[in-house]
Structures are given as structure tokens and as C-alpha cells.
Amino acid sequence: MGQRLIFHVDVNSAYLSWEAAKRMAEGKEDIRRIPSAIGGDRDKRTGIILAKSIPAKQYGIRTGEPVSMALRKCPDLFLIKADFRLYSKNSRAFLEICRRFAPIVEQFSIDECFLDMSGTSAVYSDPVTAANRLKQTIREELNFTVNIGIGPNKLLAKMASDFEKPDRVHTLFAEEISEKMWPLPVGDLFSVGRATAEKLNKHGIHTIGELANRSLFDVQNIVGFKFGKQIHDYANGISFSPVAAVSEDAKGYSNSVTLENDVVTKEDAYRVLLALADSVASRMRLDGARASCISVTIRTNAFKNYSHQRKLSESTDVTNEIYENACRLFDELWKNNIPLRLLGIALTDLDRGGTYQLSLFEDEKKEKLKKMDKTLDHIRAKYGSGSITRGSIYRSSLQVGKKYRALEEEKRDNGEEKP
């Protein structure tokens, strides 16, 4: 049996690249060449930076920082509001190209995936040449760039893709670990967040190589038994996680938001849940799916997460039904009026069939709700996702910011399992 061969494909500055590709197709300038960023509201100076161009980075603008701070650094920053429908469309498009090259593709996030290229040597004699062909195909067909990392497992492929950017192909095989990975700061190791890196630094572990060569016993004493074993293995390039192709039918739809101001009243929470239900149901309807399981997640201002789910007697794609169930789940979850930092809704147990069982009690109100959803979807498809908003959402007194991948660091410091 030959060595495993894994590619990790990562879109460069995904949100900004996808917005740039759309604008260039419309004959507008390439915003990647000017100080620009995705996220927040320029006029209100609220929200966070979700992605930034290389020229914006030269001003010191960082992903995850408040828009107000970014504008102080660069008053002429070209700021664009997020368009998650556009991002979903581009994500599907680049995944389809990846599936032309590999028998097994695992989506890891909206802008990255793993390809299991093991056993494809008869088709692609040289993996670097194959990766460059894939990279070039994405660039020519979709007009944005990717980085591709190549390694014998998912961990090393992902580490390789994070080397020099943008538009590059890098390898990281076992014999290259000591030269390419070990000199890097320990905080660059996948799953090691800022808090963990600081703990390791205090014990004299500053590089990935120092972590790899420290005894497992020492590392576990510093960060804990399970997580210590994980990052010690990672530092030595050890990972056995398979590339798992997940069928479309198994997927769900979710959306969550971090809140600029804590939620402290049920009324404000309901408004946020309506905005989430509206967004996630609209995306689901676009794919012709319905859900029979709804879950709600909350995060307190002490960063504790709670979730609850409910199975429905019939699958639905009606925003109001999803919203009402979400509110009931929220009521069951929220205790003692603890201030909340995050709210989320997820829809699973999907039915993608063209028809569904009509209830004997299908009433006129539900039909009106379906027609309203259809009208809103049509307006948004024609004029953009922000062209129309439900009144109850618009009246919310809260400033709502989009969830971003920067929150992953918090998860990593909690020792969550990764590839």
C-alpha cells in the first residue's frame, strides 16, 4: 500500500477574493489591489473586519478587529458589507472543481477543503504539477486564487498551505518537517491558540521543534493529558484522520452571530433569532431542502455554550415555523437572564425531495407565510441579500456582527479535536 497523499486547498482572502471576482465581472476595479476589507458598516463604524486586501494589511489592519479601529488606521479604506449568498455560491463552485481532480473531497470550511489524492499516481505522476494544474483551473474559471498544501496526512497538508501566500503550492512531507515546520513559532502549529502558546512559552517551548522534542510527559503536565498528546503528535507530524467525503444529503444549514452588545432581554433575543431564521431558511429554500430538526445555541458572556434541539413532526422550510420553534427552544435554554454573547440556529435532518407530505391541517395562514417567503427570496435574488428586511428585525436595537473564524482560536484553546 502506497503512502497517503493529501492536498489542502485554501482560498486566499476568500470573502474579499469572491467580492473582487464579482466586481471584476461587472467591469469594476480589482479591490484586491487597493486598501479594502469585508465586514461591518462604514457609516456607523460598527462590526468587525472579516477579510482584508494585502494593501490594507500594510496599514496594519487585522482580521477580527473592529471596523472603527480599521478606519482610524486607514481612513480611505474601501469597506464592503458581507454577502454570504455570494460566498456560498463561490464555495460550491471551487469545491466542484476540486472534485474533478480527486475521488474524495472533504469540505473543511466555506473556503477550504481536503483532497485525498492517494492512489492517483497513474493519473498525476507528480503531485506538485497536479496541484498547480488545480490552482490554475480555479484561477482561470473562477478568477480567484488558492494556496495548496501537499503532505502525507491532513495535518501536514494544512500546515503546508499556510506557508507563503498567496497563489502558492507547498509540500510538507515527513523528511521536510525538521526544516520547514520545526523552526516555526509554536503558536503556528494547528490547534495551538494564543493562550496555549503562552503556556508553552512560559515553560521554555517557543518553537514547534522544541514542542516535538520535549517529552510527552512534560507537555501533558503543561496543557493536560488529552490535548497534550494531540499537540505533541502534531508537532511530530503525526495524524491519522481520514479525508471523509460527506454527502450533500447529510449536511445541514446553520447561522450564528456574535453580538456587539450582550442580549439581556427576551425581546432582543427573539429579534436576533428572527434574523437568523430568516437567513438560514432562505439559504435552505434556495437548495430546495426542508428540515425536520431545529437546534438553538447560546453562548453566555462567560463564554459557556448551551444548545437544545427539537424534532418536528413534519419537515419545513417556512421561516415563521423555524422562528417559532427556535423561540421555544431558546425559552427552555435561557436561565436567570444571563447576558448572552452569541446566538445560533441550525437546521438538520434534511429532506431534499421534490415533493413532501401535505398535512391534513395545512391552513391558509401557512400558505400565506410560504408566499411571503417566496416573495422575499425573489426580491433578494434579484436585488441582493440586503435589499429587504423583515420589520421586526429592522426595529432591533442591537448591533449584530457576523460570526468569524477568529473564534476558532477559542475552540483550539479548549482542546477541541482537529485533523
Distance of alpha carbon 134 from alpha carbon 34, whole angstroms: 27
Distance of alpha carbon 102 from alpha carbon 201, whole angstroms: 40
Distance of alpha carbon 53 from alpha carbon 39, whole angstroms: 12
- List the beta bridge partners of residue 345: 255, 296
Tell which residue, 275, 233, 230, has the closest CA to residue 257: 275
Instruction: Please work out, in degrees rounded to the nearest 5, the angle formed at the alpha carbon of residue 148 by the alpha carbons of 147 and 154.
Output: 130
Residue 249 per-residue DSSP state: G
Catalytic residue among 112, 210, 321, 324: 112
Distance of alpha carbon 181 from alpha carbon 151, whole angstroms: 12
Q: What is the largest CA-CA distance in the chain?
A: 69
- List the beta bridge partners of residue 112: 10, 109
What phi and psi values does residue 243 have, to the nearest 5 degrees? -80, 115
Q: What is the C-alpha R_g of the chain?
A: 23
CA dihedral 13, 235, 406, 323 (to 10 degrees): 110
What phi and psi values does residue 325 have, to the nearest 5 degrees? -65, -35
Contact criterion met (CB below 8 Å) for 329 and 295: yes
Q: How far is CA 306 from CA 230, 302, 405, in A?
A: 25, 12, 20
Letter string b/e over residues 336-358, b meaning 16 or more CB atoms within 10 A of that residue's CB: eeeebbbbbbbbbebbeeeeeee
Catalytic: 364? no
Nine-digit cell at 69?
479601529
Tell which residue, 351, 357, 380, has the closest CA to residue 282: 380
- Give me the active site residues, please: 112
